[in-house]
Amino acid sequence: MGAALTRYRVIAWIVGVVLILLVVVGMPLKYAFDNPVVVETVGPAHGFLYMIYLVAAFDLSRRADWPLKRMLLVMLAGTVPFVSFYAERRVTAWLDRPVTRTPEPVAS
Amino acid sequence: MPTPGDAKPSRPRGSYDTVSETAAVPGTLDAMRWLWTPAWIARHVAMVVLVVGFLGLGWWQISRAAAGNSLSWGYAVEWPIFAGFVVYVWWREVRLARRNAEGAAEPAADPADAPTVEPPPAATIGARPAVRRPVRVARVPVDGVPGDDTDLAAYNDYLSWLNANPGARPGDYPG
């Protein structure tokens, strides 16, 4: 669970940053200043990164036994600028409970 | 656990389903009927709509790419992959539901045998313990306290004495 959550958080953060880069920087550059270089490079890259995000979210949802609806919501949240960060925090709050490691007597 | 005098058949909580009711032969259409509930029809329809939509978007990008928009080649590759992912998620969902249904249909012999730490949400697992991941439990040894070992040895002696004298009470222990 811990490793799957970490994978999800890393790729969620990357996808979120790239998406904001695309929407906040790339699109104004392309449509207002007629300079499509950012959109051309970051656009397709975001698509492939989002695929990794989907796989990580799917993997995490299976391990956490989420219902289908929650899994789809988390996947969709990755497509909305800024919301993806909120989703990542929500998911982390759901899953990242501190593991209570109570000492256990071991007869060795 | 059902009491012996219980008239009602015991059933895993919250997992009453038609799958375990109908004695349909596996592999027949009758056995697949549970895929034809309204919730499942909605999922099938959503899957088909998404796949057709994604493939349509891919085709649109191909036509744009053919018209000279080189950026569209990337998207033309991505949309069919997303469509394939939708099919994959749909198939995994069907398989998971089928597994849970099978587990509910033939309850596990002993609940203590279920090799999981977390209780399954809807249906029981059972029937297929082989597909579950092995559970790794973090064991934190107690810090070595001097004197522990003699206590432990004495307790083990006591236990073996109890085991050797089944009818004895703890007060009879001579040690």
Evaluate if residue B52 carries a pLDDT over 90.
yes
Q: Which of residues 122-141 of B touch A (CB under 8 A)?
A: 138-141
- B71 lies within 8 A of chain A by CB: yes
* A107 CB-contact burial (10 Å; exposed 0-12 / middle 13-18 / buried 19+): exposed
For residue B83, what is the nearest residue in chain A, using CA coordinates? Answer: A51
Helix (H) or strand (E) holding B159: helix B148-164
Could you say which DSSP state residue A21 is in? I
Which ipTM was obtained for this model?
0.74
Distance CA B141, CA B8 (A): 46
Tell me the count of A-B CB pairs closer than 8 A.
48
- Is A8 within a domain? yes
Residue partners of B51: CB distance under 8 A and separation at least 6: B83, B86, B87
pLDDT interval class at B13 (50, 70, 90): low
- A35 lies within 8 A of chain B by CB: no
- Is A61 within a domain? yes
- B75 lies within 8 A of chain A by CB: yes
- Is A108 within a domain? no
B69 contacts B79 by C-beta, under 8 angstroms: no
Looking at residue B171, what is its pLDDT?
Answer: 79
| Matching residue, tokens 């909305």 | A80
Domain count, chain A: 1
State pLDDT tens for residues B144-153: 555 567 888 8
- Token pair of B70 as six digits: 């080189």
Evaluate if residue B12 carries a pLDDT over 80.
no
Angle at CA of residue B161, ends B158 and B166, nearest 5°: 125
- A57 lies within 8 A of chain B by CB: no
A76 is in which domain, residue-wise?
A: 2-94
Contact A51 B81 (CB under 8 A): yes
State pLDDT tens for residues A9-34: 899 899 888 888 888 877 777 777 87
Distance CA B107, CA B9 (A): 12
- Is A21 within a domain? yes
Average pLDDT, integer, range A75-103: 79
H helices of A21-82, in order, are: 27-31, 37-63, 68-77
State pLDDT tens for residues B60-118: 988 888 887 777 788 888 889 989 989 998 898 888 888 887 777 655 444 444 444 45
pLDDT interval class at A103 (50, 70, 90): low
Distance CA A94, CA A98 (A): 11
Distance CA A80, CA A76 (A): 7
For residue A103, what is the nearest residue in chain B, using CA coordinates? Answer: B140
Looking at residue B49, what is its pLDDT?
Answer: 92
- B45 lies within 8 A of chain A by CB: no
- Is A104 within a domain? no
Nearest to B135 by CA among B111, B110, B115, B113: B115
Residues in chain A within 8 Å Cβ distance of B43: 68
Helix (H) or strand (E) holding A92: helix A83-95
CA distances from B152 to A78, B7, B147 (A): 55, 47, 9
Helix (H) or strand (E) holding B56: helix B38-66
Percent of all residues in chain B with a pLDDT value above 70, rounded to a whole number:
62
Contact A104 B140 (CB under 8 A): yes
User: Structural domain boundaries of chain B?
Assistant: 18-140, 141-175
For residue B79, what is the nearest residue in chain A, using CA coordinates? Answer: A47
- Is A106 within a domain? no
pLDDT interval class at B48 (50, 70, 90): very high
**Which amino acid does the sequence have at A66?**
W
